[in-house]
Amino acid sequence: MRAFQVRNHDQVPQIVDLPVPEPRGDQIRLKIEACGLNFADLLMQKGTYQDTPELPFVAGMEVAGTVDAVGSETHGLKIGDRVAVFGGQGGLAEYGCFVSNRAVALPDSMSFKDAAAFQIAYGTSHVALDYKARLQPGETLLVLGAAGGVGLTAVEIGKLMGAKVIACARGAEKLAIAKQAGADHLIDAKTEDIREVVKSLGGADVVYDPVGGDQWKAAFRSANPDARLLPIGFASGDVPKIPANHMLVKNLTVIGVYWGGYLQFKPSVVTESLSELFSWYDAGKLKPHVSHSLPLDQAAEGMELLRARKSTGKVVITP
């Protein structure tokens, strides 16, 4: 089989030929139909992600496909089942073996492409806004990086939860996509003062931030007393320092969110969230935005789209 393998953190991954893997007792093997790309894949390539596998490894954190073989200790899944899996690695290949208890059955209405674009982006935003921040109807939600993979889903879910959504992104094209997802107000991060615009709109009660850097600082200063701020990631490359004295004076709460971490110590948070999200999708309330769908031979180009911030929503690779 062909696979996109990371062999060295200082070199571009390559398409290589590998043996088709055999599943262990607790695993399933998937014929992979689609793999969603994430900013964390870029960090893994560099060796800077918190869960970077040992070299060499096949990149690709989340996949969708058809069960092709099952291990002897696997129950409840059979050959031919359509599933999505957050495997953490191994998705950018024609076949992959994954622990069976991470597999989620797909609604009949969901395509493989949508499924590969769904779990991490929607799961992160739903856990962050619902389980962690307890976003309430009528509150103001500020979403930074609002046209990106997770940011766009935060706009969509925030609107479904009844919030007034302020979307911040770079350029008119990206802001138009955030508007389509339900944003009530738009801020162009290239030309506008984030703090001033948010303050003029009444301040933010919840801040969703996958960007970090100067945008975090502006959002922090525009937060209302008793606001909740959610650092999701640091696409800017700048991990900001959080002034504890300002948190104290304004009664602010900063809540870290690492969606994949819950699979290690409290998986019910993820499974219950995904169950609700899949029901929303099935009811037509959620529509994943895939800006680019590329074959496996163009996986490196797909990664570059993320790195250069030329994509909106998700980039999906279809082996």
Looking at the fold, whether 300 and 198 belong to one and the same domain comes out as: no
Tokens 């002034």 belong to: 243
Residue 278 within any structural domain of the chain: no
Is residue 281's pLDDT more than 90? yes
pLDDT the model gives residue 31: 98
- Which domain does 188 fall in, by range? 122-260
Report pLDDT digits (tens) over 66-116. 999 999 999 899 999 999 999 999 999 999 999 998 899 999 999 999 999
Is residue 50's pLDDT more than 90? no
List b or e across 14-33, with b for residues whose CB sees 16 or more CB atoms inside 10 angstroms. eeeeeeebebeebbbbbbbb
Looking at the fold, whether 217 and 101 belong to one and the same domain comes out as: no
Is residue 17's pLDDT more than 90? yes
pLDDT the model gives residue 263: 87
The Cα–Cα gap between 71 and 78 comes to 10
pLDDT the model gives residue 226: 98
In percent, how much of the chain has pLDDT > 70?
100
- What is the phi/psi pair of residue 5, to 5°? -110, 135
- CATH assignment at residue 65: 3.90.180.10
pLDDT the model gives residue 169: 97
- What is the phi/psi pair of residue 285, to 5°? -85, -20
Tokens of 47: 């060796």
Tokens of 296: 């496996």
Domain boundary pick from 222, 241, 260: 260
Residue 265 within any structural domain of the chain: no
Is 188 exposed, middle or buried (CB count within 10 Å of its CB: 0-12, 13-18, 19+)?
Answer: middle
Looking at the fold, whether 197 and 312 belong to one and the same domain comes out as: no
pLDDT the model gives residue 123: 96
Nearest CA among 116, 123, 93 for reference residue 34: 116
Looking at the fold, whether 7 and 104 belong to one and the same domain comes out as: yes
pLDDT the model gives residue 113: 97
160-180 mean pLDDT: 97
The Cα–Cα gap between 233 and 28 comes to 31
Helical H segments across the chain, by residue range: 39-46, 112-116, 119-126, 151-160, 172-180, 194-200, 213-222, 244-250, 262-265, 267-282, 299-307
Looking at the fold, whether 126 and 255 belong to one and the same domain comes out as: yes
Mean pLDDT of the chain: 95
- CATH assignment at residue 249: 3.40.50.720
Residue 277 within any structural domain of the chain: no
Residue 163 within any structural domain of the chain: yes
Looking at the fold, whether 16 and 77 belong to one and the same domain comes out as: yes
**Angular region, 213: left φ>0, alpha ψ -120 to 50, beta rest:** left
The Cα–Cα gap between 271 and 104 comes to 9
Report pLDDT digits (tens) over 246-259. 999 999 999 999 99
Total count of domains within the chain: 2
Looking at the fold, whether 95 and 128 belong to one and the same domain comes out as: no
Looking at the fold, whether 110 and 132 belong to one and the same domain comes out as: no
pLDDT the model gives residue 80: 97
Say what the alpha-carbon torsion angle 217, 223, 226, 227 is, to the nearest 10 degrees. -80
The Cα–Cα gap between 258 and 138 comes to 26
Looking at the fold, whether 129 and 232 belong to one and the same domain comes out as: yes
Listed range (51-55, 121-125, 167-171) with the worst mean pLDDT? 51-55
Tokens of 309: 């911030």
The CA-to-CA distance between both ends of the chain, in Å, stands at: 10
The Cα–Cα gap between 60 and 42 comes to 10
262-273 mean pLDDT: 90
Looking at the fold, whether 97 and 219 belong to one and the same domain comes out as: no
pLDDT the model gives residue 153: 97
Helix (H, G, I), strand (E, B) or coil at 276: helix
Looking at the fold, whether 142 and 234 belong to one and the same domain comes out as: yes
Report pLDDT digits (tens) over 26-36. 999 999 999 99
